Chains A and B, each alone.
Chain A
Amino acid sequence: MSALVFSVSSPGMLTTVQDGGRWGFQGKGMPVAGAMDMQSLKLGNILVGNAQEDAALEVTILGPTLRGEGEGVVAVTGAELSFTVNGAAVPNWTVVRVGVGDVLAFGAPLTGCRAYLCASGGIDVPVVMGSRSTYTRAKVGGLEGRALKKGDTVRCGAPGALWRQCEGFACPGELRSVYDPEAPLRVIPGPQDDCFTEAGKETFYGSEYVVSNSADRMGYRLDGPVIEHVGAADIISDAIPLGAVQVPGHGQPIVMLADRQTTGGYTKIGTVCSVDIAALSQRLPGQKVRFETIDLDGAVALVRNEGKKREELLRLRARWRSVRDDGLCRSVRGGTPTKGEFLLGVDGANHRISWEEVHE
């Protein structure tokens, strides 16, 4: 068995390698990058048996066509971009096995903007400053610091010992990311909300904005009513956190995202909460955006709730993989298993472990 390899027949609109992000170097001017929809990346990696922040392909609107070599499992999460294997539709959030000669492709973009093609073993490109994420502006990470192009070879790492057992595993509906294009984005006021007039804040939280054509991994420029400043729109340059809503002198908001520059000199009226970064990243130019406030405690509770969903998916995966392929324990699926078998890798050697619950 050899690990999965994809040869790129067509690259799609913008397909890049992304992982949990390049943390720890913002103080030296290095943007974090990483998946725009972090929860979908993590859920996808759990599905295929990877570590949650492993690298995957972030597929934008029009997906690539890839030919498989080696063996492994894949799952697509995030936007619904009509994923197919050998021409047959494969639902998102579901693990399928792929092998030599299989053709992975995407079709019509149905909902959302960014999908994650997660593959067993994770996409294996060189780690640069602690991450595999592609940051195209500085040509760092991914494949030569750029998006995929025709003729590329994309290699995956060695899969976890139990990758075969992931086949057929699916994320239940209640644990998946949901993108309601009408839902307001929740914003924590600050750090410079005191630079805006009361009327300006009312405009921001009370108006409808539209995603402009200048919307990319760096940030989303929005069009709509002008937000009024108290005085100047410029401040002494400081850090730009993920989700910061910058309002330059023209009064139109810009939400700063994964590839944002680390520092900037515009006033920031608020910060979109972590959980809603994904919701915005899945919107397309022309779609509407509204904002409402949330306090810090409320936003942290939302983040922790997403963590609980991932823990639940990990639990379900353990149960799924403990069930033997030969049907021995099929009957217990849906309940708590009483016996099972799994592979355990220790120091490079695989051990087959059988277990059974014993009643006195």
Chain B
Amino acid sequence: MSDTTYPRILTAGDGCVVVEFGDTIDMAVNGRVASLAAAIRKTPFVGLRDLVPTYRSLAVYFDPETTNVEKTYARLEALSRDAGEGQAGGAKRTIVVPTLYGGEFGPDMGDVAEHTKLSEDEVIRRHTERDCYCYMLGFTPGYSYLGGMDPALEVPRLKNPREIIPAGSVAIGGKQTGIYSIASPGGWRLIGRTPMRMFDPGRDPAIILEAGMWVRFRPIGQAEFDEIEAEGAKGAYRPEILEEEVTA
């Protein structure tokens, strides 16, 4: 589809329109998605219901009963042409994910070490060293699609997916790493678990992570794991979020 010109506006039913900025997974394209989302949030139109940023497109949900559909399409066209690659707000926001690696919570750590020909300590070092970029959330509430894992940690997915993976599990599947936000089936290899609740419907906000944020894994021991878990159960745990100005 090399002849396609972007951005392009795609009709996705009578209550949704998708603005697509490209056909690749990269931060420049994803940055334009974030810019458009920010521009719409700044001056929302009557009938706007939801915004869903994904790798390379933004879905704009609206109520067809109250929205001027024609005007909305025209406005999105204009805004999408102006949507730059720069990160909205200008700051790099990083959430720290405390993780207990290996042992009972990382049953596949041995396999990962074997596949990658690295020691378990080296797997942990490489997994915590690089920050991962959150391109989008989806699949289950609070689940993040992360990019930027050290390529040395690439491992094939399990041939037989597990029927149930506990919430908080930190896993590697192919070139990607992720955190299971609720208990769900899955085929990624489990290397650890975070006691931090990625999704807690009783908390405000229920989901802390947002598309465009960064994730930094921090190794912890059992004592700290128990402490954070207990605080989370009381709704008292405050995740660590780092903000840095980005110099373009």
Enumerate chain A interface residues (CB-CB to B < 8 A): 23-32, 128-129, 137-140, 188-192, 236-239, 241-244, 261-264, 268, 271-274, 296-297, 299-300, 302-304, 307
Contacts and interface: CB of A to CB of B under 8 A. Distances in A.
Given A190-B10, A191-B12, A271-B16, A29 B207 contact: yes
A28 B203 CA distance: 14
Interface of B: 10-16, 18, 20, 23-25, 37, 49-57, 59, 61, 64-65, 69, 136-143, 145, 181-182, 184, 199, 201-202, 206-207, 209-211
A241 B210 CA distance: 20
A139 B182 CA distance: 10
A28 B13 CA distance: 21
Contacts of A25: 50, 141, 206-207
Contacts of A271: 11-14, 16
5 contacts: A28-B142, A242-B13, A273-B13, A274-B13, A274-B14
Given A27-B211, A29-B143, A129 B201 contact: yes
Contacts of B206: 25, 28, 30, 128-129
B226 to A, nearest CB: 24
Interface centre among A25, A236, A300, A304 (most CB of B within 10 A): A236
A241 B59 contact: yes
A237 B210 CA distance: 17
B10 A191 contact: yes
Contacts of B139: 29, 261-263
Contact of B13 (A31, A238, A244): A244
Contact of B140 (A29, A237, A303): A29
B44 to A, nearest CB: 11
Nearest to B56: A236
A263 B55 CA distance: 10
Given A129-B201, A242-B13, A274-B14, A29 B56 contact: no
A303 B64 CA distance: 7
Contacts of B209: 28
Interface centre among B50, B55, B184 (most CB of A within 10 A): B50
Contacts of B69: 296-297, 300
A26 B65 contact: no
Contacts of A268: 12
Contact of A241 (B12, B51, B142): B12
Nearest to B182: A138
A272 B15 CA distance: 11
Contact of B138 (A24, A29, A241): A29
A272 B13 contact: yes
A22 to B, nearest CB: 10
A291 B141 CA distance: 32
A334 B236 CA distance: 60
